[in-house]
Amino acid sequence: MPEIALLAIESSCDDTSAAVCINGQIVSNLIANQKVHEQYGGVVPEMASREHTKNIVPVATEALKKANISWQDLNAIAFTRGPGLMGSLLVGGIFAKSLAQALQIPLIDVHHMQAHVLAHFIDEPKPKFPFLCLTVSGGHTQIVLVKDYLDMQIIGTTIDDAAGEAFDKTAKMLELPYPGGPLIDKYAQLGNYKRFKFSEPQIDGLNFSFSGLKTNVLYFLQKEIKQNPNFIQENLNDICASVQHTIVHILMKKLTQAAQQTGIKEIAIAGGVSANSGLRTALQQLGEQNNWNTYIPQFQYCTDNAGMIAITAYHKYLKQEFCALDIPIKARLEF
């Protein structure tokens, strides 16, 4: 069988990443994290695009070097078309288009959220179709019914904030630096989740809502700090454990409902929040109780990475699904 060598670029938010996939195996996956946003408490879009411009050539060059191949060995170039920050997407998109043009090879557009789901096809064990994937990131919270590699349907979504936002906004209220999700996870492991009770939304069907929880945490902290200005410092671990437990419970409740409704027992999680230790443990426990086969990506493939773009592109390559060089980049993009 001839070799299929692909270079994939991911630049939808604040990480610049490049990966090489050879015959469906990820042989390199490099990520340049942008530290510049920490001091601002969130991603500054203009700065993100400037950083991508600086990082993209060295990251892509290094990905090829690590894979031990040259530009001429590539059969196609893949990139994240959307959704994401427009300026960030444009840097990766223009770079990929220019490479495809210069090397005279096909271009493959990839949907960022589909790629989070297909990160499950990088390593073993791989889920069997059809499966359900709870995709939880900084911008999205979705339950996806995955019928085939490129045939997916969103059966539940958030009507306001994403789960990652709930983590990051809580962290901001606790005066933790951005991105706060991993820090909440770290402190939660030392705390008592039963200490504080937070409200859970009553939303019909498989949709989610996290804005009520955010307001609940804000009012709770304001009230407690009035009585004790050191309330956060003295109770940080328990606050983190209690908020994390609430978020995980909201997510697991709807995922269980989706499994019951569809009768599917192949259950996966993906996206940045799937790196959360509370969520990973909860899924494993629920899986044992309900007789599900559960799938959790390796840490490096949970948060944004080009490996997931490359594996998606590989399945598009097998179907010869290429795109035109003038395909528009989209900040908002449906499946």
User: Under the rule (CB under 6 A), what is the footprint of ligand KG4?
Assistant: 13, 137-139, 164, 167-168, 179-182, 185, 271-273, 275-276, 303-304
Stretch that binds Zn ion, among 43-51, 121-129, 131-139, 232-240 (CB under 5 A): 131-139
Residue 220 interacts with which of ligand KG4, Zn ion, none, CB < 5 to 8 Å by class: none
Q: How far is the CB of 117 from ligand KG4 (least distance, A)?
A: 12
Q: How far is the CB of 38 from ligand KG4 (least distance, A)?
A: 12
Q: How far is the CB of 91 from ligand KG4 (least distance, A)?
A: 16
Stretch that binds Zn ion, among 97-105, 134-142, 187-195, 321-329 (CB under 5 A): 134-142
**Bridge partners for 18 per DSSP:** 9, 30
Residues 304, 307, 308, 316: which binds Zn ion (CB under 5 A)?
A: 304
Stretch that binds Zn ion, among 132-140, 209-217, 279-287, 322-330 (CB under 5 A): 132-140
What token pair was written down for 259?
């499994």
The SS3 assignment for 18 reads strand
Q: What is the DSSP letter of 158?
A: B
User: Of 114 and 137, which CB lies nearer to Zn ion in the complex structure?
Assistant: 137
User: Of 45 and 287, which CB lies nearer to Zn ion in the complex structure?
Assistant: 45
The burial of 50, by beta-carbon neighbours within 10 Å (0-12 exposed, 13-18 middle, 19 or more buried), is given as middle
Q: Are 110 and 96 in contact (CB under 8 A)?
A: no
- Cα(198)–Cα(213) distance, rounded to whole angstroms? 7
Backbone Cα Rg of the chain: 20
**Amino acid letter, 145:** L
Residue 28 interacts with which of ligand KG4, Zn ion, none, CB < 5 to 8 Å by class: none
User: Of 156 and 297, which CB lies nearer to ligand KG4 in the complex structure?
Assistant: 297
Q: What angle do CA 268, 272, 277 make, to 5 degrees?
A: 70
- Cα(163)–Cα(143) distance, rounded to whole angstroms? 12
The SS3 assignment for 63 reads helix
Q: How far is the CB of 85 from Zn ion (least distance, A)?
A: 11
User: Of 28 and 137, which CB lies nearer to Zn ion in the complex structure?
Assistant: 137
Q: How far is the CB of 252 from ligand KG4 (least distance, A)?
A: 14
Among candidates 195, 183, 184, which has minimal Cα distance to 238? 195
